[in-house]
């Protein structure tokens, strides 16, 4: 079972998990906000559970916002959505997202990015903005080997299991 601990600080967004990422930031550094209410999917299936976190980052890797959980309405009733205020000082910043899946204790890359617009509103509790999370980002090049060469894995699952260099215990 996953261990949880009460936060020692009100600024912490780890959801009580000892191993959740510490995506803290200072919103007072920024003048403007945009609001995104998102549903996070993996392989077309909603994956949000209590304790999961969605975070926004600028091109330099600085945290620009961290989500709070919201309950969906209408067709999304009973689902956890993520409301995130994204902070900036100007239009045009390229924003990327990462998703912490507390049940798996891993950070997933999100496929979509966002070009910041001051006072923008994307999604709502009745019609959330869709973000697609995937496998952990290993920053590997395209896997173009013959899948038969890495059986019983596919090329993609071999990279996910062994890394970009296919090293297992220090040996290829």
Beta bridge partners of 113: 96
CB contact set of 164 (below 8 Å; sequence gap of 6+): 138, 139, 140, 141
Q: Would you say 64 and 95 are in contact if contact means Cβ atoms under 8 Å apart?
A: yes
Per DSSP, which regions of 13-125 are E strands? 32-42, 45-46, 53-57, 63-66, 68-71, 80-88, 94-101, 106-115, 121-122
* pLDDT range class, residue 35, cuts 50, 70, 90: very high
pLDDT at 81: 97
Q: Name which of 22, 17, 47 is nearest 110 in CA terms.
A: 47
Alpha carbon of residue 45 to chain centroid: 15
What does the pLDDT average to over 153-167? 58
Higher pLDDT, 102 or 153: 102
Residue 161 has pLDDT above 90, yes or no: no
Residue 151 has pLDDT above 50, yes or no: yes
52-99, pLDDT tens digit by residue? 999 999 999 999 999 999 999 999 999 999 999 999 999 999 999 999
Alpha carbon of residue 153 to chain centroid: 26
User: Of 58-62, 141-145, 156-160, where does the model show the most confidence?
Assistant: 58-62
Residue 34 has pLDDT above 90, yes or no: yes
What does the pLDDT average to over 132-146? 62
Global confidence as pTM = 0.69
pLDDT at 96: 97
Residue 40 has pLDDT above 80, yes or no: yes
Query: What whole-number percentage of the chain has pLDDT above 70?
Result: 67
pLDDT at 134: 84
């Amino acid at each position: 079972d996953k261990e949880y601990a009460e936060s020692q600080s009100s600024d912490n967004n780890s959801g009580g998990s000892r191993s959740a990422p510490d995506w803290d930031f200072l919103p007072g550094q920024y003048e403007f906000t945009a609001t995104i209410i998102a549903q996070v999917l993996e392989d077309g299936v909603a994956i949000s559970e209590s304790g999961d976190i969605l975070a926004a980052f600028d091109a330099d890797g600085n945290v620009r916002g961290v989500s709070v959980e919201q309950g969906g309405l209408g067709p999304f009733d009973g689902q956890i959505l993520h409301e995130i205020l994204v902070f900036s000082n100007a239009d045009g910043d390229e924003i990327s997202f990462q998703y912490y899946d507390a049940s798996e204790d891993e950070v997933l890359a999100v496929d979509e990015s966002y070009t910041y617009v001051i006072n923008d509103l994307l999604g709502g509790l009745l019609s959330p903005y869709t973000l697609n999370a995937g496998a952990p980002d290993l920053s590997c090049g395209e896997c173009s080997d013959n899948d038969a060469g890495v059986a019983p894995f596919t090329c993609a699952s071999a990279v996910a299991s062994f890394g970009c260099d296919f090293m297992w215990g220090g040996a290829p």
